[in-house]
Structure 1
Amino acid sequence: MSQPLEPPVTIAIDGPSGSGKSSVSKAVARELGLTYLDTGAMFRALALWCVREGIDLADQDAVEQASRTFPLEMGTDPAAPAVHLAGADVGPDIRTQEVSAVVSRVATNLGVRAVLRELQRDLIRQARETGPGIVVEGRDITTVIAPDAEVRVLLTASEEARLARRAKELYDTADAQALAATHDLVVRRDQDDATVSAFFEPADGVVGIDTSSLTFAQSVAAVLDVARSAAPQDQQTPDGGDR
């Protein structure tokens, strides 16, 4: 078996909703002893903050300004990746359907993406400076946030598989009613987010893994195989791009 990369290591994982990127990323981070960053949770936290503060999500300048000052603290322990606003744990709050229904209005704000891009890069740098590395997952991690990552993976899955997974997660069933209720949250959000980032086809140098027919354990093993077989790469400074 190939040996894992020498630390520090950044593993960048992208994918659409329901591809398994969050659960797989946490498992990979635990297995390799790395920290973990859910960039999507940052957009969700900002959406929640704006709603609570009465900031109009249609006012892009106001939302961008909020992204510069909102009191966000991101936990990077893959076993308990807490999200705090003003010291309060909002992990369950950012996963509600109410937040899911509006988060794309924040995530498609290019000004917000630019602000959070730098915060995400800062967290990656801190992880590399203080420990063995980090697994970062989201929408354009492999191409914009960490294009210099030693390991870059795009997880994909069929729409049918993605809907079923998210329905089971939200409703503990994948019956017709649950699938219908989940459809807008998954398909519509991906369509919205795809207007500002690409996460359905792997970019050059990114390994694509289709998880449609894979179990969770098989999906984790597939990413670990990529990580353990990756050749060391010269580190480069990210050249930016709209996040």
Structure 2
Amino acid sequence: MGYNIAIDGPAGAGKSTIAKRVAKELGFIYVDTGAMYRAIALYFLRKKIDLTNEKVVSIACESIDITIGYQGKEQQVYLNGENVNSFIRTEEVGKLASISAGNREVRMKLMELQKALAQKENVVMDGRDIGTYVLPKAQLKIFLTASAKTRAKRRFLELEEKGTECDINEIENDIIERDKRDMTREIAPLKQAVDAILIDSSEMTIEQVAESIIKLYYESKK
């Protein structure tokens, strides 16, 4: 088994940004599980699949293949051979990804791929249930969070930078609603693993959070 770092936390806590930085610093493979859920959501969106129909979702999952590759140092997500990086970061896909993540068939499909990768490689994996469900034996587990207001502000600035018009109050309400959905879903709900270290990034910079995790990694190796 490779050395596995699991980073869990709610939407907008900065998990992906931090995980990428930590993986780069340590020379690990970064596995963006959120992007994988977004890719499946994109498939459902394109095919107009009704997520309340378990049978239809189960059949659809059999036709989905999601792989992660790299172009230079940039991670690319492939959905049935198509590079979908430029399609999976919309708000619509994000909301659907959160909803579809509660589906057992969807989770089993992706967990299989994620476990296989972590078994043979040193990985940093982020998501909602990595330390509790996907990689329960990870050598280092982090629960990264921030206040809903802080997360909404970060998302607002990110969208504003892209020239997208948005309402910060609406974003905050969406984040609160997504947190509630993620924490109360029946399958692998969002929660801090018993052996995870809590980091609240509300008053921290990206660099400070990354440095904290890297320090914890080296301490775990002593």
TM-score by length of 1: 0.82
CA distance in 2, matches of 1:120, 1:214: 29
CA distance in 1, matches of 2:207, 2:181: 30
| TM-aligned CA deviation for residue 141 of structure 1 | 0.4
2:152 to 153, 157, 163: 163
Contact 1:154–1:199 (8 Å) recurs in 2: no
Residue of structure 2 equivalent to 1:98: 92
Residue of structure 1 equivalent to 2:22: 28
| TM-aligned CA deviation for residue 158 of structure 1 | 1.1
Residue of structure 2 equivalent to 1:130: none
CA distance in 2, matches of 1:105, 1:22: 19
User: 1:100-145 CA distances to partner (integer Å, 9 max, x unpaired)?
Assistant: 2322221111232122222211121242xxxxx0101100101111
| TM-aligned CA deviation for residue 68 of structure 1 | 3.0
2:76 to 73, 78, 82: 82
Alignment of 1:195-206 (within 5 A): 195-196=184-185, 197-200=188-191, 202-206=192-196
Structure 1 runs not aligned, ≥5 long: 1-6, 128-132, 233-243
Residue of structure 1 equivalent to 2:46: 52
Residue of structure 2 equivalent to 1:117: 111
Query: Could you tell me the percent identity over the aligned residues?
Result: 36
| TM-aligned CA deviation for residue 212 of structure 1 | 0.6
Count of matched residue positions in the alignment of Structure 1 and Structure 2: 218
CA RMSD of aligned residues (A): 2.3
Residue of structure 2 equivalent to 1:214: 204
Residues 79/16 of structure 1: CA separation in 2 closer, same or farther (3 Å cut): farther
Please give the secondary structure, in 2, of the residue aligned with 1:93: coil
CA distance in 2, matches of 1:78, 1:212: 32
Q: What one-letter code is carried by the residue in structure 1 that aligns with 2:219? A: S
| TM-aligned CA deviation for residue 208 of structure 1 | 0.8
Residue of structure 1 equivalent to 2:136: 147
Please give the secondary structure, in 1, of the residue aligned with 2:177: helix
Q: Would you identify which runs of 4 or more consecutive aligned residues in structure 1 move more than 6 Å?
A: none
CA distance in 2, matches of 1:36, 1:78: 14
CA distance in 1, matches of 2:173, 2:55: 27
Residues 92/188 of structure 1: CA separation in 2 closer, same or farther (3 Å cut): farther
Higher mean C-alpha displacement, 16-25 vs 98-107: 98-107
TM-score by length of 2: 0.89
Contact 2:2–2:120 (8 Å) recurs in 1: no
Contact 2:2–2:118 (8 Å) recurs in 1: no
CA distance in 2, matches of 1:73, 1:184: 32
Contact 1:63–1:106 (8 Å) recurs in 2: no
